[in-house]
Amino acid sequence: MQVFLKVWRQADAKSEGQFVTYTVENVTEDMSFFEMLDMLNNQLVLKGKEPIAFDHDCREGICGTCGLFINGRAHGPLRGITTCQLHMRSFDDGANIVVEPWRAEAFPVIKDLIVDRTAFDRIISAGGYISVNTGGVPDANTIPVPKPKADEAFDAATCIGCGACVATCKNSSAMLFVAAKVSHLALLPQGQVERKQRALNLVAAMDMEGFGACTNTGACEIECPKEISIVHIARLNREFLKASLL
Amino acid sequence: MNWFFRFMNSSVGKKIIMATTGLLLCSFLIIHLFGNLFLYGGPELFNTYVERLASIKPLIRVIEVILALIFLFHIINSLWLTLSNRKANPVKYEVNRAQDNSSFFSRYMGITGSIVFIFLAVHLSTFWYRFQIDHDGGQFYRIVTGDAVGFNNPYITGLYILAMILLGFHLRHGFQSAFQTFGLRYNKYGKLIEAIAVLFWFAIPLGFVLIPIYFGLLKGGF
């Protein structure tokens, strides 16, 4: 099959970018989207041109490094997958595919399809963890955690920080990301000590990074490759409200 | 008071202001619709009802001021949020299939809200204002159903019907969104909130729409 790509190219953070079109031939439906881009990049290199820069690492949907806006959807048209898990069989022969970087003020484009997501790291460093004194590892069974809570906490903990929630949100809100962290730790006994401060600090850090406010459109939970529910956003709101007012 | 300003200035705090003012305005809709139902009882019943309200004017004035403040908070806060949200997302996508991941109602809250606001301005400058200057009483029913600013005027009737449909759209997202913002949308209460929401986004706007339809289209016949 052959596909017609329209890809955002931008030399660096300060340059003006533009869309460039490419025709990619000999694509097979078994190729992943990135293998198709790899093939295009090989051809570009052979022609002495600059290959398209895009973020990727594990290529099996667990690291959260990749993320492209493909034909108007974060991580492409399918649900519950990252860009690296998208295959060319999801597209028709002769398809036009528009490939864009995540768009958000807090995620500036560094080059082509790569954005700077260190804003997420700064949010986490504001309290998205538990402080543990060094010492012997405690026996896991000494802290009882009810199974439904453990499951819910785990659902939140599956966040890989890819940024699809921000990318798809019309307000570039990072609420689902922050909610996943706050919710995960608020549900577990280990997270109780810093529970209040965590909710306050993470929301403050999120606001400071220039992310927008949540308007509950629910687009984030549809595009999240780990299908994290906005019920966690409700819990973040509750945690923040309690921490602020009580 | 530091904590209070920090809370009010945070993105979540601003959303909580939107939700609180929004739900208070929803409760006003119930009272307003209740009053409107007196129209169906004929001129005498409706005029008596309005005159009864006029007899407790000081209380009504206080309620009006509180109501105006709630509206003002809701509107100014929404403008502030919209502007800061736009700043957070200045570059639009070449292709964005938002229809695949979010509802029409949730994406166009600003537009539906703005049109309802225009309606509100017209509504106040016609009905509310004329009710205030009608000192001899007895004319209230005629103002509402007449052809100057009442439902015998097809433009007024059209605007009221359109605005109430858009109010329904606004509340289709807004009502349940307020509970999400308060953090009260646990999975187990989701269905209950959705059921109550139907009352606000469908039944109440329908109640308001039926009035211009009945007095304008059916009874008045322009």
CA distance A136 to chain B (A): 37
pLDDT at B137: 60
At CB < 8 A and 24+ separation, what contacts does B2-6 make?
Answer: B3/A244, B6/A204, B6/A244
- pLDDT, averaged across chain A: 96
Altogether, the residues listed in chain A come to a count of 246
Q: Which CATH number fits domain A118-245: 2.60.40.10, 1.10.1060.10, 3.40.718.10, 1.10.1040.10?
A: 1.10.1060.10
User: What pLDDT, in 10s, does the model give residues B171-186?
Assistant: 999 999 999 999 987 6
Distance CA A35, CA A40 (A): 9
Is residue B178 a contact partner of residue B22, using CB atoms and an 8 Å limit?
A: yes
pLDDT, greater one: A177 or B148: A177
Average pLDDT (B199-219) is 91
Q: Is the pLDDT of residue A123 over 70?
A: yes
Spans of all domains in chain A: 3-111, 118-245
Q: Which residues of B touch A (CB under 8 A)?
A: 3, 6-7, 10-16, 81, 84-85, 87-98, 100-103, 106-107, 109, 173, 177, 180-187
Reported pTM: 0.93
Is residue B20 a contact partner of residue A212, using CB atoms and an 8 Å limit?
A: no
pLDDT at B132: 82
Same fold flag, A3-111 and A118-245: no
CA distance A160 to chain B (A): 20
- Could you give the angle at the alpha carbon of A221 between the alpha carbons of A215 and A223, nearest 5°? 110
Question: How many other β-carbons are positioned within 10 Å of the β-carbon of residue A50?
Answer: 12
Q: Searching chain B, which residue's CA lies closest to the CA of residue A6? A: B94
User: What pLDDT, in 10s, does the model give residues B147-170?
Assistant: 888 888 889 999 999 999 999 999
CA distance B182 to chain A (A): 6
**How would you write B166-215 as a 3-class SS string?**
HHHHHHHHHHHHHHHHCCCCCHHHHHHHHHHHHHHHHHHHHHHHHHHHHH
Pick from B3, B84, B95: CB nearest A212: B84
Q: DSSP string covering A33-49, please?
A: HHHHHHHHHHHHHHTTP
Q: Which residues on chain B are in Cβ contact (under 8 Å) with A71?
A: 95, 97
Pick from B94, B173, B182: CB nearest A237: B182
The dihedrals phi and psi of B153, each to the nearest 5 degrees, come to -95, 115
Is residue B151 a contact partner of residue B160, using CB atoms and an 8 Å limit?
A: yes
Fold of the domain spanning A3-111:
Ubiquitin-like (UB roll) (3.10.20)
Distance CA B135, CA A195 (A): 60
ipTM: 0.91
Average pLDDT (B84-98) is 96
Instruction: Indicate the burial class of B56 (C-beta count within 10 angstroms; 0-12, 13-18, 19 or more).
Output: exposed
User: What pLDDT, in 10s, does the model give residues B14-34?
Assistant: 999 999 999 999 999 999 999
Order the strands of the A69-70 sheet from edge to edge.
Answer: A18-24, A3-9, A96-100, A69-70, A73-74
